[in-house]
Amino acid sequence: MNTGSHTAQAVYLDYNATAPMRPEALRATRDALQAVGNASSIHDHGRDAAGRVDRARQQVADLLNCSRGELIFTSGATEANNLALHATYASQGNIVTSAVEHPAVLETARALTAEAPGSLMILPVDDEGKIDYGAFRAEVEQRGAALVSIMLANNETGVVTDLAPIAEVAHSVGALVHTDATQYVGRLPLDLEDLNVDLLSLSAHKFGGPQGVGALYIRRGTPLPQRPLVFGGGHERGWRAGTLNVPGIVGLGAAAEAAHRELDAEASRIGKLRDLLEGEILAQLPGSYVNGVGSTRLPGVSSVTFPGCPADALLTSMPDISVSDGSACSAGAPTPSHVLLAMGLGREAADSTLRFSLGYATTEQEIRKAIDATVRAVTHVRAVMDAPGHP
């Protein structure tokens, strides 16, 4: 796969950070960039832009099995999560979430509840990354009205949440359910009729659309006060002001359509490649282990701990493979992954973890290259760490 001129030789296995744009999305975005027109203008050019946005809204709605009027375009999942939590906290006054959420949920929840700390419950997970269903049930039944915000798939481990029973309990006590589905959408089939959540966040760049665009789904009839974060011209039915990012939205729509078409075939092909990667790494590097392996996982994600091998040393030793370390997905100083710590890993183990994430363009040849590079890097780092004189 061609991932850009200066890194053309490197193998890209960091789809959970951002996926390469799908050719369909690239073409559609480029076309839209070349067109002129503000989707709010009533002349021909404006109507043309509005038509492109409508089409994209339908493409996303088709991927999720919802209706167009239930979608609000945003600048990505961070904003969609913020919007969801702000609006629901205003009506529910309580947030129940989990320890393995993305910072876009956890930090928003902490900020919203800072002045009423008892109104935030962060549920622990077990060593496979799963929420304790009994603890969840007890908590939600005691609180009643609340926002339950639980991610559909974890960005670091790929662990998938069985949301339907969670939504059922939450709804039975009058709570609302939001899910951060950023890593799930476009990777596995999703049907909002079955999932039964009230709000869902997604982001284009995780499944082959452009960066900086996403959407929030709000089920029709959900009792929510309208709480925009961005005020102004009343776009997106008053939920988010600002001139629509037409090229981004068009790219999101095209990526959604392409991902939808290929969903089952891609998931099965990618799952086999991930199994190959894990099988070889575990066989060739005794002592290494896969996090969340006992849970249902996304097909393309593998979080592997190499005890005694700091991830930064591994990454330096395998420059031709673009993977992610186990540190928090944030800018600035690296801190050990809160997800791995919540699953019971020690600090050192969390810091000795790599996340491989595969996607629609990953090839078997790339996986074999990544296996060889990982085995060489771990062997090298182990030798350095074991060398006499190493502290």
**Binding of ligand PMP by 97 (CB under 6 A):** no
Q: 185 or 285: whose CB is closer to ligand PMP?
A: 185
Q: 102 or 143: whose CB is closer to ligand PMP?
A: 102
Smallest separation, CB 216 to ligand PMP (Å) = 11
**Binding of ligand PMP by 325 (CB under 6 A):** no
3-state secondary structure of 157: coil
Of 25, 50, 71, 77, the residue at the interface with ligand PMP (CB under 6 A) is 77
Smallest separation, CB 322 to ligand PMP (Å) = 15
**Binding of ligand PMP by 102 (CB under 6 A):** yes
Q: 236 or 369: whose CB is closer to ligand PMP?
A: 236
Of 329, 344, 368, 375, the residue at the interface with ligand PMP (CB under 6 A) is 329
Rounded distance between C-alpha atoms, residue 329 and residue 311, angstroms: 14
Read off the DSSP letter of residue 100: T
Tokens linked to 366: 């790339």
Of 64, 83, 100, 104, the residue at the interface with ligand PMP (CB under 6 A) is 104
Determine what percent of the chain falls in helix, strand and coil, rounding each to the nearest 5.
45, 15, 40
Residues facing residue 98 across a β-bridge? 123
Tell me the one-letter amino acid at 141. Answer: E
**Binding of ligand PMP by 78 (CB under 6 A):** yes
Do the Cβ atoms of 357 and 274 come closer than 8 Å? no
The alpha-carbon radius of gyration of the chain (Å, integer) is: 21
**Binding of ligand PMP by 49 (CB under 6 A):** no
DSSP codes, 5-40? STTTTSEE-BTTT-PPPPHHHHHHHHHHHHS---TT
Q: Say which residues have a Cβ less than 8 Å from residue 23's Cβ, sequence separation at least 6.
A: none
Maximum CA extent, the chain: 76
Smallest separation, CB 245 to ligand PMP (Å) = 13
The site for ligand PMP, by CB under 6 A, has a size of 13
Of 37, 214, 251, 336, the residue at the interface with ligand PMP (CB under 6 A) is 214
Rounded distance between C-alpha atoms, residue 233 and residue 310, angstroms: 50
Cα–Cα distances in angstroms (integers) from residue 331 to residues 21, 158, 159, 181, 340, in the given order: 23, 21, 23, 22, 18
Q: 203 or 245: whose CB is closer to ligand PMP?
A: 203
Q: Please report where in the chains the tokens 């939001």 appear, as a residue.
A: 178
**Binding of ligand PMP by 285 (CB under 6 A):** no
Which residues in 150-209 contact ligand PMP (CB under 6 A)?
A: 151, 155, 180, 182-183, 203
Q: 74 or 317: whose CB is closer to ligand PMP?
A: 74
Smallest separation, CB 327 to ligand PMP (Å) = 13
Smallest separation, CB 39 to ligand PMP (Å) = 21
Smallest separation, CB 181 to ligand PMP (Å) = 8
Smallest separation, CB 383 to ligand PMP (Å) = 34
Q: Say which residues have a Cβ less than 8 Å from residue 35's Cβ, sequence separation at least 6.
A: 45, 48, 49, 52, 246
Do the Cβ atoms of 349 and 335 come closer than 8 Å? no
Catalytic residues: 329
Q: 154 or 288: whose CB is closer to ligand PMP?
A: 154
**Binding of ligand PMP by 109 (CB under 6 A):** no
Pairing of strands 95-98, 120-123: parallel
Cα–Cα distances in angstroms (integers) from residue 208 to residues 15, 29, 140, 253, in the given order: 9, 12, 36, 10
Rounded distance between C-alpha atoms, residue 65 and residue 183, angstroms: 17
The closest residue (CB) to ligand PMP is 76
Read off the DSSP letter of residue 161: P
Interacting residue ranges for ligand PMP, rule: CB under 6 A: 76-78, 102, 104, 151, 155, 180, 182-183, 203, 214, 329
